[in-house]
């Protein structure tokens, strides 16, 4: 009876270990997928930042929204 009980306990422990192993595998896959998604998001954000910082875009905003223009020669003062 004791040997049968030990065998059942060992079987339950083995089953628990296998279930934990499978669950950890699923967690690793999920975190790997999440990591890849975050890397893609970071790449997209870097591209968007580069587009927002482009001098052509900034010049266009200065002309259209802010009404700025390049000063005439009379408007500039050269400091010695």
Domain ranges of the chain: 16-42
Q: How many Å apart are CA 16 and CA 22, to the nearest integer?
A: 10
Question: Which contiguous run of DSSP H or E holds residue 48?
Answer: helix 2-52
- pLDDT tier for residue 78 given thresholds of 50, 70 and 90: confident
pLDDT tens-digit series, residues 27-67: 999 999 999 999 999 999 999 999 999 999 999 999 999 99
pLDDT tens-digit series, residues 5-16: 999 999 999 999
Rg of the chain on CA atoms, in Å: 33
């Amino acid at each position: 009876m004791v040997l049968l009980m030990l065998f059942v306990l060992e079987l339950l422990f083995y089953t628990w270990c296998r279930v934990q192993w499978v669950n950890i595998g699923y967690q690793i896959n999920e975190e790997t997928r999440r990591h890849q998604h975050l890397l893609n998001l970071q790449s997209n954000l870097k591209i968007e930042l580069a587009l927002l910082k482009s001098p052509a875009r900034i010049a266009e905003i200065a002309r259209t929204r802010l009404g700025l223009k390049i000063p005439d020669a009379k408007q500039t003062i050269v400091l010695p």
